[in-house]
Amino acid sequence: MCLFCKIINQEIPAKIVSENESAIAFLDIKPVNPGHSLIVPKKHYSTIEDISEGELCAVILMLKEIGGKIKDKLGYKGYNVSLNNDPVAGQEIPHLHFHLIPRTSDDGLKLWPQSEYKGSKADEILAKLTN
Amino acid sequence: MCLFCKIINQEIPAKIVSENESAIAFLDIKPVNPGHSLIVPKKHYSTIEDISEGELCAVILMLKEIGGKIKDKLGYKGYNVSLNNDPVAGQEIPHLHFHLIPRTSDDGLKLWPQSEYKGSKADEILAKLTN
């Protein structure tokens, strides 16, 4: 079972930002900026070619919802959405996932400069996104 | 009127990969790799927060369709999907657009290393994607 399936099955903990029947979103543990989220179908699909149309719509609508919150709740002025589809494109976990990457003008984003949440920062971010 | 609205209104030519009532896809004129496409809603929306749910689904389903073709018709093993949402995230044209970036193992992609189509290469790519 892949890492994200274990998260979906609650075998591994994650900081869940949103969840419905078809999709789930949780904080990336190595965020570019705080609030960096992964939006994932609940069923295991490797790539965007594999997923059904209905489930793909559910995933992108959850991303839209969280994008609004990234601005409204966290005060960011914008974000990147990125999908690495297949290993040649940098996909590491073989379960389709969109990155939602909040941006600041001085974060120096190249492709994936990763940092880590310190102390209770991840919980503070999660609370803002889920209230 | 923005650049992409002019393309949609046929005031500026573009190499159209796919088109329906809600969405249009055309080749990026400065591709990371040949076949790099932009998938765009026909109505003008700046960001993913602005677009309606139905139109967003139409855009992502067109992207799914073209992604399959990028593999089946062009022989790529994978691709990145990227959306720069707002200027802080690198958005240059203020009209929502997803990049679909075909990848090779040796293309050295950082964020946007751009190249240009030479000779009739863009037409050859377009023909493969639209047949």
Q: Encode pLDDT of A2-42 as tens digits.
A: 999 999 999 998 888 899 999 999 988 888 888 889 999 99
- In chain A, residues with a C-beta closer than 8 Å to the C-beta of B87 are 77-78
Tokens read off for B50: 């602005």
| CA closest to B72 among chain A residues | A49
Q: Tell me, what's the pLDDT at B123? A: 62
Give backbone dihedrals phi and psi of A129, rounded to 5 degrees, phi first: -80, -25
- Are A35 and A53 in contact by the 8 Å Cβ rule? The answer is no
**Does residue B93 belong to the interface with chain A, where contact is any CB pair within 8 Å?**
no
**Does residue A83 belong to the interface with chain B, where contact is any CB pair within 8 Å?**
yes
Q: Tell me, what's the pLDDT at A122? A: 54
From its phi and psi, is residue B5 left (phi > 0), alpha (psi between -120 and 50) or beta?
alpha
Q: The complex's ipTM? A: 0.85
- Are A116 and A110 in contact by the 8 Å Cβ rule? The answer is no
Q: Tell me, what's the pLDDT at A125? A: 55
Q: How confident is the model at residue B32 (pLDDT cuts 50, 70, 90)?
A: confident
A97 is catalytic: yes
C-alpha–C-alpha distance, residues A98 and A89, integer Å: 13
Please state the three-class secondary structure of chain A as a single string.
CCHHHHHHCCCCCCCEEEECCCEEEEECCCCCCCCCEEEEECCCCCCCCCCCHHHHHHHHHHHHHHHHHHHHCCCCCCEEEEEEECHHHCCCCCCCCEEEEECCCCCCCCCCCCCCCCCCHHHHHHHHHHC
**Does residue A108 belong to the interface with chain B, where contact is any CB pair within 8 Å?**
no
- Are B84 and B93 in contact by the 8 Å Cβ rule? The answer is no
Q: Tell me the per-residue pLDDT of A80-116, one tens digit each, with 9 for 90 and over.
A: 999 999 999 989 899 999 999 989 888 877 643 344 5
CB contact under 8 A, B64 and A48: yes
C-alpha–C-alpha distance, residues B44 and B40, integer Å: 9
What mean pLDDT, rounded, does chain A reach?
86
Model confidence, pTM: 0.86
CB contact under 8 A, A48 and B81: yes
| CA closest to A72 among chain B residues | B49
- In chain B, residues with a C-beta closer than 8 Å to the C-beta of A85 are 67, 78-81
Q: Tell me, what's the pLDDT at A117? A: 53
Instruction: Tell me which of 3.30.70.1350, 3.30.428.10, 3.40.640.10, 3.30.390.30 is the CATH number of domain B3-130.
Output: 3.30.428.10
DSSP state of B30: S
Average pLDDT (B72-93) is: 92
What mean pLDDT, rounded, does chain B reach?
86
C-alpha–C-alpha distance, residues B20 and B43, integer Å: 12
